[in-house]
A = this chain, B = another copy of it.
């Protein structure tokens, strides 16, 4: 794709760009550090400005006012990151899956229904009564248990396991090794041991959800665990039974949510956050990294710390904690001075 063609594509997405230099043919997008001739790179964060000087890229997307070395074409744009996203989609597109058709070496139960143009690899197991929509790609080692349902255009990367009766919407993507619908920690204490409570609920995942690698989402004891439409999970997210997460949330990685939690829409949850059970997180809330959410979070709030509180207050406390040894010295000094003043007062009284 020529830079001039890319400018037209960007315009189609409402992004105005201007070519400053030669109209070159671009075959790939790459980082400033790794790019070579024929590749387009970008500068979004001014922190990496020095890398522009050393890049071997043929062209760079960046804002006005930043000079580029001679021989590099500049694609000037107010929002280089947005332009980059469009350029990557236009030049590289999304991953093309291998084409297996419906492999004869897949173990598909005779009662399962598989939609048109399915792409199901060898070494996949599809259980009794499963329904799979159109154009799903299911990689080797996946197991879709009895009664599960997948919508259209889903992708299950290798070794994904969907337990029985779980439901995935359309355009759901699940990365390798993730498990959907295992039994949660449902036990009743009986005479010093744990009695297992059958977990008869399921997991329901909305449309356009993407789930990272090696996640684990418990089925509900009764009813459903739910992951809302458009929500995106990073890797190793653990969700407890009966928890409901709203549409369009973003969870980073190593997040653990206990059971019966409700999370609203457009909630952002950073890495290693934990949430205790039976609480509610309001719409548009943001939870900072490593926070431990121990109570309800209001809509729109930004929380941090363990236990999590308002981020500004949490930061003030964190700074205060780091200065605590100094403050303790100040308290000791106050105690000394108060003793001294008391001594002087006692002296005055005695006069």
Contact = CB atoms under 8 A, between A and B. Distances in A.
A197 to B, nearest CB: 5
Contacts of A197: 84-85, 88-89
Given A158-B143, A232-B185, A179 B214 contact: yes
Interface in A196-221: 196-198, 200-201, 208, 210, 212-216, 218, 220-221
A222 interface: yes
A93 interface: yes
A140 B107 contact: yes
A274 B292 contact: no
B334 A335 contact: yes
B252 A254 contact: no
Nearest to A324: B320
Interface residues of A, number: 123
A71 to B, nearest CB: 21
A92 to B, nearest CB: 5
Contacts of A138: none
A60 interface: no
A255 to B, nearest CB: 8
A325 B197 CA distance: 42
A230 interface: yes
Q: Which of A34, A235, A292 gathers most chain B CB within 10 Å?
A: A235
A114 B7 CA distance: 43
Contact of A196 (B140, B210, B212, B221): B210
Interface string A268-308: 00011010101000000000011010100000000000110
A254 B253 contact: no
B107 A122 contact: yes
| Copy count, this protein chain | 3
A1 interface: no
A341 B340 CA distance: 11
Given A192-B248, A235-B216, A125 B143 contact: no
A214 B236 contact: yes
Contacts of A183: 95, 175, 210, 212
Interface string A158-201: 11010110000000000111110011110110001111111011
Nearest to A109: B98
A236 B234 contact: no
Contacts of A337: 338, 342
Nearest to A310: B322
A79 to B, nearest CB: 10
A234 B141 contact: no
Contact of A290 (B93, B306, B309): B306
Given A85-B188, A330-B335, A214 B216 contact: yes
A123 interface: yes
The 4 A-B residue pairs with the shortest CB-CB distance, nearest first, are A31-B223, A216-B235, A34-B223, A213-B216
29 contacts: A28-B200, A31-B220, A31-B242, A45-B278, A85-B197, A93-B198, A107-B122, A140-B143, A157-B182, A175-B179, A176-B182, A179-B213, A179-B214, A182-B213, A182-B235, A183-B210, A185-B250, A187-B232, A194-B248, A236-B238, A254-B254, A254-B256, A274-B290, A313-B325, A320-B328, A327-B328, A337-B338, A337-B342, A344-B345
